[in-house]
Amino acid sequence: MDLILCHTTADFDALGAAVGLTRLLPGSKIVLTGGSHPAVRDFLALHRDEYPLIERRSVNPEKIRSLTVVDTQQRDRLGKAAEWLDLPNVTEIIVYDHHLGQGSDIPARRSHISSVGATTTLIVEQLQQQQISLTPTEATVMALGIHVDTGSLTFDQSTPRDALALAWLMQQDASLSVISTYRNPGLSLQLQQLLTESLENLEYLYLHGYTVAWVTLKTDGFMPGLSSLASELVELTEIDAILLANEYPLSESDSRLTVIGRSQIPKTNLNLLFQPLGGGGHSQAASLNLRGVDSQAILKQLLDGVKAQIPHPPTARDLMSSPVRTILPEITIAEAQRILLRYGQSGLSVVDAQGQLVGIISRRDIDIALHHGFSHAPVKGYMTTNLKTITPDTTLPQIESVMVTYDIGRLPVLENKQLVGIVTRTDVLRELHQQRDENGGGGKAKRAKSNINLPQLQNKLAPQLWQLLTTASQEAEKRGWHLYLVGGAVRDLLLAEAVGSLMIKDIDLVVDGFHKSADVGAGVELASSLQQLYPAARLEIHGAFQTAALLWHKDPELDSLWVDIATARTEFYPYPAANPEVEASSIRQDLYRRDFTINAIALRLTTPRSGELLDFFGGLLDLEAKQIRVLHANSFIEDPTRIYRGVRFAVRFGFQIEPQTEEFIRYAINSGVYDRTAQENSRTPALQTRLKTELKYILEAPYWKSALQLLDNLGALQCIHPTLKLDAELLQQLRLLERCLQRFDPQPTLIHWEMRLETLIAHLTSQYRAKVAKNLQLPEDSIARLKNLAQVQTEVMTLLPTFQPPSQVVQLLRQYDLPMLILIAVQSPREIKHQIWEYFTVWANMQPLLNGNDLKKLGYKPGPQYRQILDDVVAATLDGVIKDKTEAEEFLANHYPQ
């Protein structure tokens, strides 16, 4: 176990440095050795699950391998965790700090101490050197560390290195609004006095779950820094919006009014309110200056405007995940851990036999129980029973308040005492992030999103396809369900530039109905209702995967269209390369199970939020950056076909595979997991049928050569067979294959992608060919051809050099079909290639100089001998014995006298 230790009463710099180190030291865990600053505590109340934090009491000291200490060099600042520094099993201790001139009593093997404004800066520099990218939540807490310890670069100890580190963290999408919320700028003495006065005189109103405050301060003259005062008031009082008015005299008959506005309420726009009065700013921050006005009338006008803009906030019904995965109180801690691992959750709801909620057990609870050796114990002994619950109508601000106040990461949603959903910290953070984007605080993500709306979608699609989607959404709305367009169709729409002509051939729709009354059959029910409206479509139902498909074949309007309709689901791979086991879930979980971020975007088709784009994993940014990024570290281990899909998308769109995704690919391939799983399991569909499907998509595409080269560069051809390499010899064989197919099969009678795959397999040694072809479930004739290839090739290569007359060559080669001869040709020496080429281009097309009518005129009786006679005439023609019809008749007179 590798641990990163923050000092007691951890501040943002210690936490930010520790979070960055988890990327430099994969698999390491963070321990807060003794509490944290209030701001850090509040921050973690919402963000704790985003970072690999563990409790000190859940650590087994005997399993510690290394310790990394951040932001201190003193043992006594580590609390009881200082005892771990002396453990014999700890092989390495590392210190990172920015406080120079301090003696250290920590026995560190390595120390990284430098004169910068924040320890986090040192970590950022190493991340940059190793070209490691961060998630927005990682970048945000690290940026907070630098902001707080440098006073946002205003303290004397701030350095250019800190500024460069902050700039890089902004490039990693650190959230400026979150940073603004948690940093604590200082106030001047005058502003501190006004702060006290403001707190005593603030007036409040509460509307739609939001708190708006206002105050008027009267001073003797202009007061600089009121914006900082307004921000401080928002932070101290936890209000959502404030109007801070300052009135001061200019003369006996004249005065000036300054109003500072701040709002954290989504969809409010202070700029629109302040502009008509001559002020302005941004949606969340604006100001104005007026002379000789009624200050209270102006303040009331602005206040009324804010009230009119406040939206109805999202409720638990909008945020919750449903259905809720539950367990009984009697199941063991070990089984609960297995369920958490399987579904990637941070806690489980515990219900009794009647389905009534009786408790919640978190991942931390389970870790502690396992640490103490109670894997066999029932969860009822460790679950939390003093529960805080909410209703479907609880608003987002109320939910956030409960989570922060009680440090709760999961809130059950009860309706009529029944558990109907669960709202997690992640649900809240996603909604808050989306609101920041809508309010202009999302940087690149906001810009990408603002270019997408339903009318633009309609304009891109062919009208008949748009009508189908409209009909499907109407059918879903009748049943109270949400309907989403998901995956590749959304991706292609976002990339498309043409207007009114995009006819997507493969569409995925997802029904998310668990917020109302749908069951696992929602997708099938919707597909059945659509089939009644579109009787030309064929309906296929796949019960095991809770999906249905509508298929049109050469329809006058929809052509050959495939529409998959599924109930939102989650999945679990019982072992690598297996078919996944699926269960009904929510749209968020459905997107989370997908392969790449660019395919994990959904567009809502149903009202009231039609046109809403769901992008929980940065797919829009990756589309802008033209990169392929995987969703999960174990994605390729679970399903190797994702490697082939990633390569296909990269080459098709001209994208790059993101560096960490490439690392995951190489790790999965080099780990040997595919060989092990094939030996341990009789069925590995991801290495058999699903791999064949991906190979088909690649090998029939115009970019197949580039895709094969990228697969080889990644080592991914090993998924076909461990020895397969795209060496110079195989490249030459593939080039010759294309010449053969173009020349000898111009109106394809062969399946060209299968011929390319057979050529790849034929490059293996003979003992592997049939086995690989059978594993990929190729057609029986392909398997037989590859099985017999070595024998036939030996026969041809042995006999052909001994045959001189062309007729003998024809007699030998015509017993083999075109695919077999092509495979032999691409693998044979130049002389053999030349003879086979001659056979195809000249000799095989040779026609006899006489036909059956000619033989009849010459007096030969019709019968089986005609075939032999004509074959002999062709052979003589091939060998140059006869050259015209007269010589052919003389040949017959000599060889077949009557």
β-bridge mates for residue 566, sequence order: 510, 547
Token readout for 860 is: 């030969």
Identify the pLDDT of residue 704.
Answer: 96
The pLDDT assigned to 637 comes to 87
Cross-strand bridge partners of residue 247:
218, 257
Q: Are 76 and 59 in contact (CB under 8 A)?
A: no
pLDDT tens across 143-163, in order? 999 998 887 887 667 899 999
Tell me how far apart the alpha carbons of residues 347 and 337 are, in angstroms, rounded to a whole number. Answer: 9
Give the pLDDT band (50/70/90) at residue 584. low
Q: Burial-class residue 636 by CB neighbours within 10 Å (0-12, 13-18, 19+).
A: buried
How big is the chain, counted in residues?
A: 898
Six-digit token string for 351: 């219900």
User: Which residues, including other chains, have CB under 8 Å from residue 509's CB and lie 6 or more apart?
Assistant: 472, 483, 484, 485, 486, 523, 526, 563, 564, 565, 566, 605
The Cα–Cα gap between 163 and 140 comes to 15
pLDDT of 875 > 70? The answer is: yes
Measure Cα distances from 379 to 336, 345, 414 in Å.
8, 16, 22
DSSP string covering 597-610: GGG--EEE-SSSST
Residue 574 pLDDT level (bands cut at 50, 70, 90): low
How far is the CA of 122 from the CAs of 13, 141, 701, 876, in angstroms? 11, 15, 47, 87
Least-confidence region, from 62-76, 508-522, 804-818: 508-522
Residue 445 is predicted with a pLDDT of 37
* pLDDT score recorded for residue 279: 80
Read off the pTM: 0.62
pLDDT at 468: 93
**pLDDT over 50 at 517, yes or no:** no
Nearest to 650 by CA among 569, 596, 591, 609: 596
pLDDT tens track for 465-492: 889 999 999 999 898 888 999 989 999 8
> Other C-beta atoms within 10 Å of 61: how many?
13
Confidence check: pLDDT of 458 > 80: no
Spatial distance between the Cα atoms of 678 and 96, rounded to a whole number of angstroms:
45
**Interatomic CA distance for residues 720 and 760, integer angstroms:** 9
d(Cα 609, Cα 602) in Å, to the nearest integer? 13
Longest dimension (CA), the chain: 141
How confident is the model over 776-822, as pLDDT tens digits? 999 999 999 999 999 999 998 888 887 778 888 887 888 888 999 99
At 172 the pLDDT is: 95
211 closest CA partner among 310, 316, 314, 315: 310
CA angle at 288 for the pair 283 and 292, rounded to the nearest 5°: 155
What whole-number distance in Å separates Cα of residue 116 and Cα of residue 127? Answer: 16
Tokens 């709306």, residue? 453
pLDDT (tens digit per residue) in 355-413:
889 999 988 899 989 988 999 999 999 998 989 999 988 988 889 989 988 888 889 99
Taking residues 425-443, report their average pLDDT. Answer: 65
Burial level of 38, CB count in 10 A (0-12/13-18/19+)? Answer: exposed
- pLDDT surpasses 70 at 102: no
Does residue 498 surpass a pLDDT of 70?
A: no
Instruction: With beta carbons less than 8 A apart as the criterion, state whether 488 and 620 touch.
Output: no
What is the predicted pLDDT for the residue at 576?
A: 67
Least confident span in 334-348, 419-433, 657-671, 884-898: 884-898
665: left (phi over 0), alpha (psi -120 to 50) or beta: alpha
Could you tell me what percent of the chain has a pLDDT over 90? 48
Between 158 and 762, name the one with better pLDDT. 762
Report whether 135 contacts 175 (CB < 8 A): no
DSSP string of 595-663, one letter each residue = SBGGG--EEE-SSSSTT-EE-SS-HHHHHHHTEE-BS-TTHHHH-THHHHHHHHHHHHHT-EE-HHHHH
pLDDT at residue 716 greater than cutoff 90: yes
Structure tokens at 169: 């963290």
Q: Residues 841-867: what's their mean pLDDT? A: 74
Q: Write the burial class of residue 326 (CB in 10 Å: 0-12 exposed, 13-18 middle, 19+ buried).
A: middle
pLDDT above 60 (res 439)? no
Q: Give yes or no for residue 442 having a pLDDT over 90.
A: no
Pairing of strands 285-291, 280-281: antiparallel
Confidence of residue 448 (pLDDT cuts 50, 70, 90): very low
As a whole number, mean pLDDT of residues 337-346 equals 77
Kindly tell me if the per-residue pLDDT of 343 is higher than 70: no
Give SS3 for 433.
helix
How wide is the angle at C-alpha 408 spanned by C-alphas 18 and 236, nearest 5°? 75
Rounded-to-integer distance, Cα 82 and Cα 76, Å? 7
Q: Which of 148-152, 212-216, 413-417, 767-771 has the lowest mean pLDDT?
A: 148-152
The three-state secondary structure class of 510 is strand
Q: What is the band of 137 on the pLDDT scale with cuts at 50, 70, 90?
A: very high
Residue 655 has pLDDT above 80, yes or no: yes
Q: Which two tokens stand for residue 806?
A: 């062309």
Give the per-residue pLDDT at 420.
83
- Give pLDDT, residue 443: 40
Which tens digit of pLDDT belongs to each residue from 242-258?
A: 999 999 999 888 999 99
Q: From CA 363, how far away is CA 370, in angstroms rounded?
A: 10
The pLDDT of residue 258 is 93
Looking up tokens 């592997």, which residue turns up? 768
Residue corresponding to tokens 């298929």: 551
Higher per-residue confidence, 489 vs 521: 489
